[in-house]
Amino acid sequence: MSELRLQYIAIEGVIGAGKTSLTKKLCDHFGGREVLEKQDENPFLKDFYRTPRQFAFPTQLFFLLSRYRQQQEIPQRELFHDMIIADYIFAKDRIFASVTLEDRELFLYDKIATFLEQDIARPDLVVYLQSSTDRLLANIKKRNRDYERSISDEYIRELNEAYNQFFLNYKETPLLIVNSTEIDFVNKEEDFEELVNQAIRPISGTQYYSPIKRTD
């Protein structure tokens, strides 16, 4: 682990991209501490997927405050001693808000989010798992989570477009964009090792990693 200078890595991607799976594998690989989103704790999430318009604002607000509380529980000193790997960045909440909220709700949301963002530590590196909508939908269907069964294809498509646009303009931290449509870093160790090698090399600004599709 001596070649790795990163102390705080955040993994991002649309629902079904494999953020949590990659976070757990990286923690096992580097002996890091994982920080995972607590999706199941949101009491509005199931209702949101059934009737998005009615439950968008409470769902979004709960996630915003929950993620803020979780970020505050990471002692600053740990950023200089233990490796931390999270399966989200705090700014992701704005991506979802831009898709789910109407103008008046988004105006109020922005005021709250802007205030909270002042206290959030920035990762040393963000890894964005970019994927096709078809691959995301296939992954969601395969894992078959109860509260995700009501997610519409259109919602994932719109969210995927919003994510791509967000990271196209992202400048806050070093960013590695991974074309993850054709790789399987969960079940294929060679895919995982190649991704690790890309992440630990010096990265400034935005860099891209597009693996060659394997035929075996």
Per-residue pLDDT tens over the stretch 89-127 = 999 999 999 999 999 999 999 999 999 998 888 899 999
- Average pLDDT across the chain, whole number: 89
> 40 or 101, which is more confident?
101
Q: Which sequence spans correspond to the domains of the chain?
A: 8-209
pLDDT level of residue 214 (50, 70, 90 thresholds)? low
Question: Helices marked H in the chain — which ranges?
Answer: 19-30, 45-50, 52-72, 92-100, 103-116, 133-143, 153-168, 189-200
Among 202, 204, 178, which residue's Cα sits nearest to residue 191? 178
21 is written with which tokens? 């799976």
Confidence of residue 12 (pLDDT cuts 50, 70, 90): very high
Q: Report CA torsion sign: 26, 28, 6, 69.
A: positive
Annotated catalytic residue within 40, 47, 82, 87: 87
The CATH code of domain 8-209 reads: 3.40.50.300
Supply the pLDDT for residue 80: 55
Secondary structure of residue 72 in the 3-state scheme: helix
pTM of the model: 0.90
With 70 as the cut, is the pLDDT of residue 76 above it? no
Q: CA–CA separation, 116 vs 38, rounded Å?
A: 19
Q: Residue 182: its pLDDT value, please?
A: 86
Nearest CA to 61 out of 87, 86, 42 is that of 42
Distance of CA 131 to the CA centre of its chain: 12
pLDDT in tens, 159-186: 999 999 999 999 999 999 999 998 999 8
Higher-confidence residue: 79 or 109?
109
Percentage above 90 pLDDT, the chain? 69
| Catalytic residue check, 40 | no
What is the band of 58 on the pLDDT scale with cuts at 50, 70, 90? Answer: very high
- State the pLDDT at residue 3: 47
Residue 41 has pLDDT above 80, yes or no: yes
* CA–CA gap between residue 97 and residue 86 (Å, rounded): 20
pLDDT, residue 213, reads: 62
* Residue-level pLDDT at 1: 38
Cα separation, 106 vs 215, whole angstroms: 45
Query: What pLDDT is stored for residue 11 in this prediction?
Result: 97
Whether the predicted pLDDT of 194 surpasses 70: yes
Cα–Cα nearest to 196, from 160, 13, 188: 188
Spatial strand order in the sheet of 175-179: 33-35, 84-86, 8-12, 125-130, 175-179, 206-209
